[in-house]
Amino acid sequence: MSTTLEPTGTPVPSSAARGITGASVRPGDRVFLGLSRGAGLLILLTMASIAIFLVVKAIPALQANTANFLTSTAWFPDQSPAVFGIAALVFGTVMTSIVAMVLAVPVGIGIALFIAHYAPRRLATALGFVTDLLAAVPSIIFGMWGLQFLTPHMEGLGEWLNTYLGFIPIFTNTLGLYSKSILIAGVVLAIMILPTISAITREVFVQVPRDHIEAALALGATRWEMVRLSIFPFAKPGMISAAMLGLGRALGETIAVALILSASYDINRHITEPGGNTFAANIALRWNEAGPIGLSALVASGLVLFVITLVVNMGARAVIARRAEFSGAN
Amino acid sequence: MAKRIDVTDLDIYYGSFKAVEGATLSIEPRSVTAFIGPSGCGKSTMLRALNRMHEVIPGAYVEGKVLLDGEDLYGANVDPVNVRRTIGMVFQRPNPFPTMSIRDNVVAGLRLDGTRRKKAELDEIAERSLRGANLWDEVKDRLHRPGSGLSGGQQQRLCIARAIAVEPQVLLMDEPCSALDPISTLAIEDLIEQLKERFTIVIVTHNMQQAARVSDTTGFFNLSGIGKPGKLVEMAETDVIFSNPTQQATEDYISGRFG
Amino acid sequence: MSGITSFEGDQSTALLRMALSGRRLPRWGVPAAAVVALAAAIGLNAVTGIDGVAGTLVVAILLFVAGQTGWSFSVEGRRHALDRLATTAIYATFALALAPLIGLLATVVVKGSQVLSSSFLTTSMRSVSPRSEGGGLYHALLGTLEQVGIAALIGVPLGILTAIYLVEYAPSGSSRHLARVVSFFVDVMTGVPSVVVGLFVYTAFVLTLGMQRSGFAASIALTILMLPVVVRSTEEMLRIVPRSLREASYALGIPKWRTILKIVMPTAIAGIITGAMLAIARVAGETAPLLLTTFLSQSINPDPFTGPQSALPTFIWDQFSSGTDASVNRAWGGALVLIILVMVLYAVAKIIARFAGVKKL
Ligand SMILES: Nc1ncnc2c1ncn2[C@@H]1O[C@H](COP(=O)(O)OP(=O)(O)OP(=O)(O)O)[C@@H](O)[C@H]1O
Ligand SMILES: [Mg+2]
């Protein structure tokens, strides 16, 4: 086995000279595999340390706390004795998210339907781009806009709700003040999570097999009947998980809410009145003035938020995963 | 420099599915061997087992022996990368690297094996390989244009040039003409005729005339039943297979009664 | 609304079902109903005093929906009335969603351009009181570029490597379970609120490891936020690269890692860059983690590792919270600069994706 002479006469190291034996894993591959697996492991490590550090650093405050962490609405962690609880934060977070979901889910699905099945092709791509742009706007800008420009326009709505629907407790307004309310924060959150919801639902709407759609139309269904007959059943799991991912974003949104709400630690059912607070906003607002126990208390509340969003997001993924199994797509 | 291949009792699996069972055959150096048989009988699988391309599919493995001049390809300290360097492959659909120029495509195997070579040397190898693949005259003025700009037949010859540039011992071809028009097919067949002087060639084809035209030996594969593994039914000199096969199934297939 | 033309697709089939004899609204029906509704709303406006353009429009839309549905119900029957109602609703949701986007962009541009000037871009807020005009955001722009730049330097390679592990190595290796776990947690990571990431960086790096609150601490938080986005988009791009290219490379005896680096990556690179830029654009506007991990500064600090360092989002937050006319105007100026930065990243990413997508075979 030596160098072979080619017809042209140039010596080329032939493969015969190299043979086929050698290490079965090459050093280059071992290094590259090690690096890329290391990166993957780093992600696991990060997730684990997020959980661990939040728990460890929450413990001092939880030990110092003399009130019930879950049911108290007060937030005086740096007093001695420390008194704080997350009840008001839970209420504010849940209420703003509910408002956001009530508005954003139907509108988001409507947008997705419009882009996927109602708008002309060319327009649809442009509109998809525009809604994606909405997702790229930083949340602090949503917050400023919500405070300075949405709030004045929302006062009329608040008054109207109080006048005509005031018999429903949440719409009652006893103060005559309509700014900085949970309702406004919810509306801004709704606008912020719209792109998330509409982008994911649009994707599943587009995946509905043409046959399903044509089968319905061939039965003489109107377009709306086709949507209910063919599109919604197929896309239901996708729509559910899109809503849940949107919810995850709404629960964790910080700056926009912190700007809009006038942070208060009480449970006020009148959502058009100023007040309310959320986990995320509370952390941002109290951070720089907090002492050691105060920081620890904020970490404890962050831990609760982390767990809530984790549950919501895992739920959304589970729904998607189940759907993938059924459709046989890979 | 061509080498012989001896396969003994080879079983080829995709996970738990056995695609080929008990294949035993020999391939002579500097000859053209054709694999024929109905779709799904395991011709491609068999071919890919010959240069350890089979195992790049997750879960795929083989049992049995494949000897290259007496050395077991599946031996314990055999590097599959070196095996593939020794036994090259041309695929059914031409697949030039889309990000590379024609010239870079041809020398890709040399440039990416880790050894440094001079530019002039690479240029020379590129020219020699392109001439070897009967493509030089058609592309010599646009060596630095993308390979994907060529016609299908030219792309396939580019892939052949790319395969022979690394100086393999054996060249495996899986239906190399099935995506091509008759003229390009003829060009490739002529090329195979020339390449056989330097390489051992194994070709999978659905085209019986092509097998008859280009090959010295023909192996007929068939399914032993639905969902059952494919088997090598019979292997002999091409003239024998086409004029006087020993098995009824072979004769039925060749005369177009099934498949 | 203009639903007429887009109806024609299913009109034919619907007509068949009605034995070709059903009665439909005339073509001019929908625009006519719209005009009548608008006129009626303006009329009502004068009578009842529902004020403002928005109020009038809402009333007009409601009148239009009621009128069109009723008319259609009496002429075409229940099914077509429902269909028209749904179509109107879907068009309306779309308009509803577009309004805030346009409003928001218009606001930012109008308010922001009032303060935008070359000195705004090139000076800092050093010894500028909140009440006085002038000052600028150079220090914040510099901070953002450094913090986001560092985050990209760490996050993009890590994300790409992880995606390579998931797509190229894990499926054929023995570690399929590990890969599934990694993949799952990448998904979970996407949903972690940014403020929680900020808390983590503070507790782990500042409290425990003794790092200062600094631009670099912010970079770590931004890295964690961009990582899952980069992984997911890179994964998607790698999966589009046809298997046949990898096989062609293996068949030439090119080792796997070189195949990945020299064949797979160059083919997918445009898509990978697009994904990375979108991830960068996403984190460039993050405020909450910065508030937790940096100290505000009014002056230029080019060193991300020591001392207070501002960034555009925290600059905006600071100026807006100061609440004076001058500072709120500066906040809007900052918002305009930030939005331009994000949109440019975004647009460039989309353009790369458009013109240099993965080349198909
Ligand atoms: N990647 C794979 N995973 C699982 N099974 C496979 C895979 N590729 C092929 N098979 C199965 O192995 C068997 C043989 O397939 P193979 O591709 O070798 O057939 P073939 O003879 O080349 O057919 P054709 O003439 O159509 O190319 C078939 O049953 C096929 O379904
Ligand atoms: Mg085949």
Q: Where are the domains of chain C?
A: 2-113, 138-356
Q: What average pLDDT does range A124-129 have in this prediction? A: 80
pLDDT(C272) > 60: yes
pTM of the entire structure? 0.85
**Strands B217-223 and B32-36, sheet pairing:** parallel
Contact call for residues B1 and A14 (beta carbons, < 8 A): yes
Q: Which site among B68, B125, B167 would you substitute to test the A interface, given the most A Cβ atoms closer than 10 Å to its Cβ?
A: B167
Contact of C244 with chain B, judged by CB distance below 8 Å, is answered with: yes
Helix extents (H) in chain C:
8-17, 29-48, 52-76, 78-115, 118-122, 138-164, 176-190, 194-201, 215-240, 243-251, 256-258, 265-284, 288-293, 312-322, 325-355
pLDDT in the model for residue C8: 45
Q: Ligand 1 center to residue C247 CA distance, Å?
A: 16
pLDDT (tens digit, 9 = 90+) per residue, A107-117?
A: 999 989 888 88
Cβ neighbors of B60 (< 8 A, separation 6 or more) are: B12, B13, B14, B15, B54
Point out the least confidently predicted range of A290-304, B149-163, C35-49, C265-279.
C35-49
Digit-by-digit pLDDT tens for chain B (259 residues) are 578 999 999 999 998 999 999 999 999 999 999 999 999 999 999 999 999 999 888 889 999 999 999 999 998 888 888 899 999 999 998 999 988 999 999 999 998 877 788 999 999 999 999 998 889 999 999 999 998 889 998 999 999 999 999 989 999 999 998 888 888 888 889 999 999 999 999 999 999 999 999 999 999 999 988 888 999 999 999 999 999 999 999 999 988 766 5
Q: What is the DSSP letter of B29?
A: T
Nearest residue (by CA) to ligand 1, atom 8, is B45
pLDDT in the model for residue B238: 94
Per the CB < 8 Å rule, is A14 touching B114? no
Point out the least confidently predicted range of A8-12, B247-251, C80-84.
A8-12
Ligand 1 atom closest to Cα of residue B60: 3
Interface of C with A in 192-211 (CB under 8 A): 192-197, 199-200, 202-204, 207-208
Point out the least confidently predicted range of C14-23, C82-91, C268-277, C287-296.
C14-23
A84 backbone dihedrals φ, ψ, rounded to 5°: -160, 155
pLDDT (tens digit, 9 = 90+) per residue, C174-195?
A: 677 888 899 989 988 988 999 9
Cβ neighbors of C130 (< 8 A, separation 6 or more) are: C319, C322, C323, C324, C326, C327
Per the CB < 8 Å rule, is B114 touching C242? no
pLDDT(C5) > 60: no
* Closest ligand, as measured to the CA of B45: 1
Contact call for residues C147 and C309 (beta carbons, < 8 A): yes
Ligand 1 atom closest to Cα of residue B15: 4
Q: What is the DSSP letter of A274?
A: B
* Closest ligand, as measured to the CA of B41: 1
Q: Ligand 1 center to residue B231 CA distance, Å?
A: 13
Does the domain spanning C138-356 belong to CATH 1.10.3720.10? yes
Q: Ligand 1 center to residue B95 CA distance, Å?
A: 19
Confidence of residue A133 (pLDDT cuts 50, 70, 90): confident
Confidence of residue C358 (pLDDT cuts 50, 70, 90): very low
pLDDT in the model for residue C46: 66
pLDDT (tens digit, 9 = 90+) per residue, A157-171?
A: 888 888 888 888 888
Contact call for residues C218 and C257 (beta carbons, < 8 A): no
A319/chain C closest Cα distance in angstroms: 13
Contact of C180 with chain B, judged by CB distance below 8 Å, is answered with: no
Q: Which domains, from first to last, does chain A contain?
A: 75-327 (1.10.3720.10)
Q: Ligand 1 center to residue B51 CA distance, Å?
A: 16
pLDDT(A314) > 80: yes
What chains are in contact with A, requiring at least 3 Cβ pairs below 8 Å?
Answer: B, C
Cβ neighbors of B258 (< 8 A, separation 6 or more) are: B38, B252
Confidence of residue C9 (pLDDT cuts 50, 70, 90): very low
pLDDT (tens digit, 9 = 90+) per residue, C196-221?
A: 999 999 999 999 999 999 999 999 99
pLDDT(C18) > 90: no
pLDDT in the model for residue A266: 86
Nearest residue (by CA) to ligand 1, atom 26, is B39
pLDDT (tens digit, 9 = 90+) per residue, A81-97?
A: 999 999 999 999 999 99
Q: Ligand 2 center to residue C33 CA distance, Å?
A: 63
Confidence of residue C7 (pLDDT cuts 50, 70, 90): very low
| CATH number for the domain whose boundaries are B5-254 | 3.40.50.300
Per the CB < 8 Å rule, is C254 touching B113? yes
Taking CB atoms and an 8 Å cutoff, what residues of chain B touch A11? none
User: What residue segments make up the domains of chain B, in order of their start?
Assistant: 5-254
Pick from B79, B81, B125: which is nearest to A12 by CB?
B125
pLDDT in the model for residue B203: 96
pLDDT in the model for residue C225: 96
pLDDT in the model for residue C254: 92
Contact call for residues B179 and B92 (beta carbons, < 8 A): yes
A80/chain C closest Cα distance in angstroms: 22
Pick from B83, B93, B97: which is nearest to C263 by CB?
B97
Per the CB < 8 Å rule, is B1 touching A18? no
Per the CB < 8 Å rule, is A16 touching B68? no
Contact of B30 with chain A, judged by CB distance below 8 Å, is answered with: no
Pick from B85, B112, B166: which is nearest to C262 by CB?
B112
pLDDT in the model for residue A5: 33
pLDDT(A104) > 60: yes
